[in-house]
Structure formats: structure tokens, C-alpha cells
Structure 1
Amino acid sequence: MSQETIFTKIINREIPADILYEDDLALAFKDINPQAPFHVLVIPKTPIATMNDINEENAHLVGHLYLVAAKLAKEHGFADNGYRAVMNCNNDGGQTVYHIHLHVLAGKEMGWPPYQDKKKVLS
């Protein structure tokens, strides 16, 4: 069983968030420390601490998070240009809140590796 997190408090409306999407399974809201012009977190309403805790009973929730991400991409006009959807796992993976969440980032050209800006080569 997962401990209560800041995301649980957002789901329960105990603290405010700029919510862009909600259904019975998921909630999407703007990241308070955006790393791109569009940076939204998509979370399941059922708390799952890390990717390591995904199992047969809750795996459908992860697929649903990606469906929500694609819906937001289309609604906000960046589906065709592209976006990044990433989930971090545990400390070395960059996870800071132990309730799985999908980062959806868009509005700029993303580089690879992710910690590096994409450099354009001039010829």
C-alpha cells in the first residue's frame, strides 16, 4: 500500500492544481516546475508508488495514462510536431514523488540524451 503523497492531496482536492483533464481513472495537471513550454503530469487516481509496483491488476492504468497523454497532445496542438512522455522510477531514475506519473513535455524541440539540448549541425 502506498503512502499518501502530494498527488493524493491533489486528487482529493486538499491542495490546488491547474487541472487540464480528469476522468474516473486519471488526472492531468500542469507541473509546478515546468521543463518545457507545455509540461503536464498524468497520474492514475489509484496510487502506485513506482513502476516496479505495476502488476497484472493495475497495468491497464499505465496504458490509460498514455491514452490521456495522446489526447492532451491532440487537444493542445502538438501531436503532429511531437512530444515526450516519460515516467521516472526511484531515486536514480529521477522520481521525486512516489506515485507513478507520466511527464508530458512539448512546445520545443527535445534533445537526446534528455539532459542535453539538441544541437543543430550547420553545414
Structure 2
Amino acid sequence: MPFGSPIHKAIGGSQGTIYGGSYQVDGSRFTATLTTHRHASGQPSVFGVDEVEIRLVGTAIGNFAFCSGELERVPGMLFEATLIPVQEEGTRVERRFDFGRLPERLPTHNVR
């Protein structure tokens, strides 16, 4: 498939493994290449080895992406994933209550 869009970066991880790579989009379809790297001891990798390259193809629907691919380093293993974007820490909108918008005195009601 001839992907004409720019190449985008993808990063993520868990407690013991990080992944990174790139992806290209053509309409609702995309291709991606990710590599994994273990940065801390812990639970074993689902792939059986700590460092792999995964080549994926998938479809994006709304904020979700569904993809599958194979790992050259682990012949016969099929990889399927559902990806959900996460907002970066620095881009979150912090909402604070503005006390200056309160009236000086709250209205009173006659209760009988």
C-alpha cells in the first residue's frame, strides 16, 4: 500500500518494557514498526524474548486502532493489539476553581 502521509512516532511501555517506533496512515489504515526493549527486571515478555521488532498493519476507528502482525524473531507468533491514545502529561488541562467568580454574599432564601 503506498502510504503518502508523513511518518509519525509511537512510544509506550509498561513497568519493565518500553517500545518505540514509527507509523504511517492512509485514510483509516496504517502500518507501524515497533521495537521493544527491557529496562527493568520483572515479568517475562509475552514474546519470550525481551527485544523484538514488530511490523503491524491495522485500521483506526475513532480513537481506537486495531492491528496485527508477526515477529520475525519469533516465527509463527501472531501479534494482535487494540491501541488507545494517551494524552501526554504536559498537555493536560488543569482546571482550578475561580473564587473570584463567586458573588460577595450568597443569596438568602426565606424558608417558612
Same fold (TM over 0.5): no
More contact order relative to length (CA 8 Å, sep ≥ 6): 1
TM-score by length of 2: 0.29
Greater strand content: 2
TM-score by length of 1: 0.27
Bigger Rg over Cα: 2
Greater helix content: 1
